[in-house]
Structures are given as structure tokens and as C-alpha cells.
């Protein structure tokens, strides 16, 4: 197993018309969850990924399991809850550039994940454990499950990758800031977006914020800068890695997860950090070119074509 991840996946309902959801009668439905988005990005690129989660014993849970298993992800650790329901969320397009999200996930099946349900041997079998800041926001049990997963990883020499993935609607600012800082300190690799970095450490430039995560305990910081690319800091390097230009952004949601999948794919393939992040930039850019979180995630052939045929400014080192 290359990467094991852990988190909630939901059925996403997106209005088919622009405007207030109260006037929308038609919705498209897709599967979306930050952690399974990353796992799908990895399997599409030929890697082995496992997804740990809990689903409702309902039609939406069955649909999610079928979709994720169909993407070649190991779902042997997924549990079904015969009481709590599968989480849902709705995307309301108020204008082409203004999207609002409404979660229906309180007390969802995934929020009932328990630390004692984790299989240490399963986590120990991976090269990387990928966790995000969404899961600890779901419940105290989920917070403890993430802590236990990180402990199992560290005890078994598995590299811990943490993506803060700040979701302000899921918890208070003070709760979020405390836990995101705490988990960032435990991680080997941290993948903050610039906004999340400023949320945790205050307003500043990418270099200063990356240093703050490094001083906080992470050994590698890969800061997402959107279309500008990323800034990388480790004990061996500090560098901006230029992003890839995209002529028409269809849907930016999920780009950060694609970036994470690309970076992890590069590291699994033995690329150096800069080249792994360059792959992350490319995958993140490709995600924005399709509607939905995972529909733009490429296979190796499409990724290679995109990277070789898209203008990229020189990498500044
Ligand atoms: O990164 C995209 C995720 O935010 C989306 O898939 C849904 O996991 C999700 C969340 O909690 O917002």
C-alpha cells in the first residue's frame, strides 16, 4: 500500500441552475470527500491507496462505496453504521464566481468513527498516511481517531502527511486554530494553503509562514499558492515551484486534493521534492478543468501530455 487516508466522503448535490437553491428543482449528484479525492488521484496515477471511513447503511453509502471501490481503492477498512446516515452536502451557484456550500453531515456515520476500530497493521503497511483537518472537526471521536492513526503511523515508520483543509463551518475559529496547529506539529509533511497558513499563524508572506510550520514541528512544508504554484521548505531546500496556466477554470473545488495526490504520487515514484510538487501543481490545475472534485484527475498518460504541452514559467530556485 502506497498511501492510506482517512475521512468522510459525501454525496454532493449541485444545483443545475444559477441562483438561490430554493428555486432549484434539479440537481446533479457526485461523490466528493477530500480524502477519497486524494486516494482517487493516486489510483488514477497507478498507485495503491486505501481509504478508511464509515458510511451509513443507506443507498448513499452503498453508492459511495461502489464508486470508490470502482476507482481501485482498497475499501476493506470501511465500516457501515446501522443507525447514522451517510453525509450529504449541497453546492449552490449564486453566480458563476459565487458558490455556497451547505452541509448535511451533523452526526453522520463518518462522524461516528472510533479510534479502536483502526487496524494498526493496515496503517503500518503504507508508505504514507494522509489525513486532513476536516476529520477532527467532525466529532471528538474523529479527532481521537486521527490522533491514533498518526500515532500508529509514527510507531511504524509511516510518513505522516497533513492537509489542514480548513472548513470554517465545521467548528469555531479557536477550536480549528488549536487543532490545526497541533496536527501540523505532529506531521512530517504539511500541505497548507496560504489562507489556512495565515489563519493558523497570522498574515504574512509564504516564506515566513512556511518557516512557522517548520518551526512548529513539520520537517517539510509544501504551501499551496493556487495558480501561482507552491512554495516548498525542508531541511534541504526552499523554493517556489511555478504553477501551470489553465485557460478556463470550470470548477476549482478539489484542486487542493489533486495537488496533494500529485505531490504524493511524485514522492512514491521517487521524484525529488521539487519535481513531486511540480507534479502536484499539474494535477491540481487539471482538476480545475472539469466539473466535480475528481472528474479532472488524470491518469499518467494525460498528466504527462499536460505537463509537456502546457506553458510553465521557469522554476525559480
Ligand atoms: O476539497 C474538496 C472537499 O472539501 C469536498 O470534497 C468536500 O470533503 C469535503 C468537505 O468536507 O468540504
What is the structure's pLDDT at 310? 61
Q: Give, using CA atoms, the residue closest to atom 5 of ligand 1.
A: 33
Is 314 assigned a catalytic role?
no
Percent of the chain with pLDDT over 90: 91
Q: Give, using CA atoms, the residue closest to atom 4 of ligand 1.
A: 34
Residues 142-169 have pLDDT tens digits of: 999 999 999 999 999 999 999 999 999 9
Q: How far is the CA of 32 from the centre of ligand 1 (A)?
A: 6
Q: How far is the CA of 105 from the centre of ligand 1 (A)?
A: 12
From 257, 272, 293, 299, active-site residue: 257
pTM, two decimals, is 0.95
What mean pLDDT do residues 15-30 have? 94
Whether the pLDDT of residue 313 is over 70: the answer is: no
Q: How far is the CA of 135 from the centre of ligand 1 (A)?
A: 10
Whether the pLDDT of residue 314 is over 60: the answer is: no
What is the structure's pLDDT at 227? 87
Residues 171-190 have pLDDT tens digits of: 999 999 999 999 999 999 99
Residues 80-112 have pLDDT tens digits of: 999 999 999 999 989 878 889 999 999 999 999
What ranges do the domains of the chain cover?
A: 3-8+34-85+106-300
316 contacts: CB under 8 Å, gap ≥ 6: 239, 240, 242
Question: pLDDT band at 315, cuts 50/70/90?
Answer: very low
The angle at the Cα of 298, spanning 194 to 230, to the nearest 5 degrees, equals 20
CA 126, distance to chain mean position in Å, is: 17
What mean pLDDT do residues 53-79 have? 98
Radius of gyration (C-alpha) of the chain in whole angstroms: 18
257 lines ligand 1 (CB under 6 A): yes
Q: Which of 77, 3, 67, 2 is nearest to 33 (CA)?
A: 67
134 lines ligand 1 (CB under 6 A): yes
Q: Among 108, 133, 134, say which to mutate for ligand 1: greatest number of ligand atoms within 8 Å of CB.
A: 134
CATH for the stretch 3-8+34-85+106-300 = 3.40.1190.20
How far apart are the C-alpha atoms of 183 and 164, rounded to whole Å?
8
Determine the atom of ligand 1 nearest the C-alpha atom of 105: 11
What mean pLDDT do residues 302-317 have? 72
Amino acid at each position: 500500500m502506497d498511501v492510506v487516508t482517512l475521512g468522510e466522503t459525501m454525496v454532493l448535490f449541485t444545483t443545475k441552475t444559477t441562483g438561490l437553491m430554493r428555486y432549484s428543482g434539479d440537481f446533479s449528484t457526485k461523490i466528493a470527500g477530500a480524502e477519497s479525492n486524494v486516494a482517487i488521484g493516486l489510483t488514477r496515477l497507478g498507485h495503491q491507496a486505501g481509504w478508511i471511513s464509515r458510511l451509513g447503511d443507506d443507498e448513499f453509502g452503498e453508492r459511495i462505496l461502489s464508486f470508490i471501490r470502482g476507482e481501485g481503492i482498497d475499501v476493506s477498512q470501511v465500516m457501515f453504521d446501522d443507525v447514522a446516515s451517510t453525509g450529504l452536502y449541497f453546492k449552490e451557484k449564486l453566480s458563476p464566481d459565487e458558490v455556497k456550500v451547505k452541509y448535511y453531515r451533523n452526526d453522520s456515520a463518518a462522524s461516528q468513527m472510533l479510534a479502536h476500530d483502526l487496524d494498526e497493521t493496515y496503517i503500518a503497511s503504507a508508505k504514507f498516511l494522509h489525513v486532513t483537518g476536516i476529520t477532527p472537526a467532525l466529532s471528538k471521536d474523529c479527532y481521537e481517531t486521527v490522533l491514533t492513526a498518526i500515532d500508529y503511523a509514527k510507531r511504524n515508520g509511516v510518513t505522516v502527511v497533513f492537509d489542514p483543509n480548513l472548513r470554517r463551518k465545521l467548528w469555531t475559529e479557536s477550536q480549528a486554530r488549536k487543532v490545526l496547529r497541533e496536527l501540523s506539529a505532529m506531521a512530517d509533511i504539511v500541505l497548507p494553503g496560504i489562507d489556512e497558513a495565515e489563519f493558523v499563524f497570522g498574515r504574512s508572506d509564504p516564506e515566513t509562514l512556511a518557516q512557522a510550520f517548520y518551526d512548529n514541528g513539520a520537517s517539510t512544508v509544501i504551501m499551496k499558492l493556487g495558480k501561482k504554484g507552491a512554495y516548498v521548505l525542508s531541511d534541504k531546500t526552499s523554493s517556489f515551484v511555478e504553477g501551470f496556466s489553465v485557460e478556463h477554470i470550470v470548477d476549482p473545488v478539489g484542486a487542493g486534493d489533486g495537488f496533494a495526490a500529485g505531490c504524493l504520487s511524485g514522492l512514491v515514484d521517487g521524484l525529488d521534492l521539487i519535481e513531486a510538487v511540480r507534479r502536484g501543481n499539474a494535477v491540481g490545475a487539471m482538476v480545475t478543468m472539469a466539473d466535480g472534485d475528481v472528474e479532472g484527475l488524470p491518469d499518467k498518460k494525460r498528466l504527462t501530455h499536460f505537463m509537456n504541452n502546457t506553458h510553465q514559467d521557469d522554476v525559480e530556485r
